[in-house]
Structure 1
Amino acid sequence: MMKPFIYITRKLPETLIQPLQDRYEVEMWDQDDVQVPREVLLEKAGKASALLTMLSDRIDGELLDQGEHLKVVANLAVGFDNIDVAYAKEKGVAVCNTPDVLTETTADLAFGLMMATARRIVEGDRYIREGEWKSWSPLLLAGADIHHKTLGIVGMGSIGEAVARRAKGFSMDVLYHNRNRRPEAEEALGAAFRSLDELLKESDFVVVLAPLTEETKGLFQKEQFDMMKDSAIFINAARGPIVDEDALVEAIREGMIAGAGLDVFTQEPISMDHPLLSLDRVVVLPHIGSSSVDTRYDMVRLCTDNIQAVLEGKEPRTAL
């Protein structure tokens, strides 16, 4: 009897996938910084019982129809907007993600991105490396304080709550906007619910941590940036398509807001000639929100556990 075939769409440490290799036939894309070509993914899906996928892999109707033997897709992310979950369910394919294990790490990154943007840390590093530092000056690269300011969180899930906990350590006032109110967060963190418009008008920092849905896609347009304080800083550590990037560029150039810190973009990787990259008060990162060694290893282990469970006829730990 042939062993079930598992295809992994990025190069991962052999030690982490050993439990699968001991039981199944496992094949892995051999480049960790290059996306598996679509035609290769479709070919492998045609014979796979399980796929271990990345957020950049499109698991749509075409692929699911190709996967005649497919039983489970384990996505190495908490998000799953790359997967047609409804059609997968219709086809009897389990879809799993990696919630919870990346909450604190992603919150660290989001808060760090806010600090780096506010205090112009990246600019300062570049300033020295380019030989521009000639002497000390009272307002040299003067940025914005974080402590005792107002933080507005758009998307108060587990990561939003983790960012709010960090903000309280900086004596910040925390506002939030969410599809549903979170009374437990209000009580535990002293967070105050606001409509989106109210939050934008009151906040010194706006941090987006919402999932990408039909409701949040394109949520931030020129109108939203125009509501914000001209001293405000915008942070997106959620999904790129939530923001109209042209509107964001205009908002910074026109002084509607002071700057932005971005870990995600509409198109990833972002092109080198994108106008966002020409702006000084913009800090950009290559979608590394959960990218600590410990967390990424935990995410891979959760994916392999979910795959093994489904292939053995058991309930996966984090099925959608």
Structure 2
Amino acid sequence: MGRFHIAVTFDIGEEERGLLLKTFSEEATFSFLAEMNERDRKEALSTAEVLLAWNLPRELKREEYQLLHQLRFIQLLSAGADHLPFEDIPPRVKIASNVGAYAEPMAEHILAMALALSKRLLKNHNKLAQGEFNQFEVNKMLSGSTVGIIGFGGIGRAAAKLFRCLGCRVYAINTSGKTKEEVDFIGTLKDLEHVLKESDVVVLSIALNKQTYNLIGKGELERMKRDAILVNVARGALIDEDALYEHLKSHPDFMAGIDAWWVEPFGKGRFQMDHPFCDLPNFLGSPHNSSMVPGIIAKATAMAAQNVLKFLHGEEIRGVVSREQYLQ
């Protein structure tokens, strides 16, 4: 058997490059496209059997997809696949996202947002900065509350583990309605209304696709508890932006923590807020950096490399992307 050819489409760090070379040893040759001139890029793309990609629309020119004659597999460094130009990728090519690679730090971020909002930390910090000191302002406990996790994959399961440590009940939604994890309820999106009504905290960690676009709109927000907390670390477009802003304005006891935004540099090339969310006292935001802890890119690269290795060996891979969920 000859050596496989893997093209890395993004500008990779030295540590991550070393991980790849060590993982594949003599099994594969690599082309690092960010370092190549146009002629060498064309040659690499025309012979690559695997692409290791991060933000493919930014890393390949539209006309370069026509060069992928030998391509069999695309492995993403990212956990989501909603940014891919599926119409440009040959139908024969299998695609896998890097599910679970960022689960632990994102779970901590979810918990941190839920705690900060329930304890009114930012609101009271700002009052102190204005000279207002109210020792008797009431906040909430998470212990004994119900946490609804919409998207019970790696991130959702890691978050559930942390919330259970606080004595929370866990209501979960996934694609199968089954899990081996310790939960108080497991269902599918058909059970969304039930989970929203019962939950004190709702966590969005589900993939964005045709089925989940604007999953949380005006009606869903109104079905949630008056003083519920909504945390989104997945994709902004899971929530109707206008509906969320109006709900936060008209329901001061309702709170939201947003890490994933509607217009972000990764997908749109810029950051944009269509409403002044950060002016609201019941809102907390972060710049989609919930996964960004030391060593995480190396870990994600190692997990992606192992998945590529399994593909090349004909073994079962994780995170297989279903095109049908994304193509219009």
Q: TM-score, normalised by structure 1?
A: 0.77
SS at match of 2:33: strand
Query: CA RMSD for the aligned pairs?
Result: 3.7
Corresponding position: 1:6 with 2:3: no
Q: Which among 150, 165, 171 is matched to residue 167 of structure 2?
A: 171
Shift of 1:55: 4.9
1:28 counterpart SS class: helix
Query: How has the CA–CA distance of structure 1 residues 57 and 111 changed in structure 2, closer, same or farther, with 3 Å as cutoff?
Result: farther
Residue range with higher mean Cα deviation, 111-120 or 62-71: 62-71
State the identity %: 23
3-state SS of 1:253 partner: helix
**Superposition pairs of residues 42-191 of structure 1, within 5 angstroms:** 47=46, 49=48, 50-55=50-55, 57=57, 64-83=65-84, 88=89, 90-91=91-92, 93-125=93-125, 131-132=129-130, 134=131, 136-139=133-136, 142-182=138-178, 184-185=180-181, 188-191=182-185
Q: Give secondary structure in 1 for the equivalent of 2:52.
A: strand
CA distance in 2, matches of 1:55, 1:296: 14
Match of 1:24 in 2: 30
- Alpha-carbon distance between aligned partners in 1 of 2:122 and 2:253, rounded to the nearest angstrom: 18
What one-letter code is carried by the residue in structure 1 that aligns with 2:250? E
Indicate whether 1:281 and 2:278 are aligned.
no
Displacement after TM superposition at 1:197 (Å): 1.5
How many Å apart are 1:66 and its aligned residue?
4.3
> Which position in structure 2 is the counterpart of 1:237?
233
Any unmatched runs of 5+ in structure 2?
266-270, 321-328
Answer yes or no: is 1:314 the counterpart of 2:313.
yes
Q: Secondary structure at the match of 2:295?
A: helix
**How far off is 1:207 after superposition?**
1.0
CA distance in 2 between counterparts of 1:45 and 1:276 reads 45
Residues 193, 223 of structure 2: 8 Å contact kept: yes
Q: Structure 1's 279 and 63: CA in aligned 2 closer, same or farther, altered over 3 A?
A: farther
How far is the alpha carbon of 1:120 from its aligned partner? 2.9
Number of aligned positions between the proteins: 300
Give the distance between the partners of 2:5 and 2:170, measured in 1 at CA: 49
| C-alpha distance in 2 between matches for 1:139 and 1:29 | 60
Distance 1:234 1:156 in 2: 16
Deviation at 1:43, TM superposition (A): 7.4
Q: Could you tell me which residue of structure 2 aligns to residue 197 of structure 1?
A: 193
Q: For residues 121 and 177 of structure 1, do their structure 2 counterparts lie closer, same or farther at Cα, with a shift above 3 Å needed? A: same
State the shift of 1:5 in Å: 6.8
Q: Residue type matched to 1:213 in 2?
A: N
1:268 aligns with 2:264: yes
In structure 1, the residue corresponding to 2:75 is in which secondary structure? strand
Which AA in structure 1 matches 2:197? K
Offset at 1:139? 3.6
Superposition deviation, residue 305 in structure 1: 4.5
Contact 1:55 1:80 in 2 (8 A): no
Q: Name the stretch that deviates more: 173-182 or 215-224.
A: 173-182
Map of 1:34 onto structure 2: none
For 1:218 and 1:202, locate their aligned partners in 2 and report how far apart those are by CA, in whole Å. 20
Q: Secondary structure in 2 aligned to 1:95?
A: strand
After superposition, the C-alpha distances for 1:288-309 in whole angstroms (9 at most, x for unaligned) are 2322223331111233445567
SS of the residue aligned with 2:180? Answer: helix
Deviates more, 1:283-292 or 1:258-267: 283-292
Q: Report the CA distance shift for 1:4/1:55 in structure 2 as closer, same or farther (over 3 A).
A: closer
Decide whether the 8 Å contact of 1:45 with 1:51 is kept in 2: no
2:110 corresponds to which letter in structure 1? A
CA distance in structure 1 between the partners assigned to 2:240 and 2:155 by the alignment:
23
Q: Deviations over 1:240-270 (max 9, x none)?
A: 1111111000110111761100111222143
Q: Which residue of 2 aligns with 1:217?
A: 213
What residue identity is the alignment partner of 1:231?
A: D
CA drift at 1:121: 3.0
Q: Is the 8 A contact 1:236 1:264 kept in 2?
A: yes
Preserved contact between residue 263 and residue 273 of structure 2 (Cα < 8 Å) = no
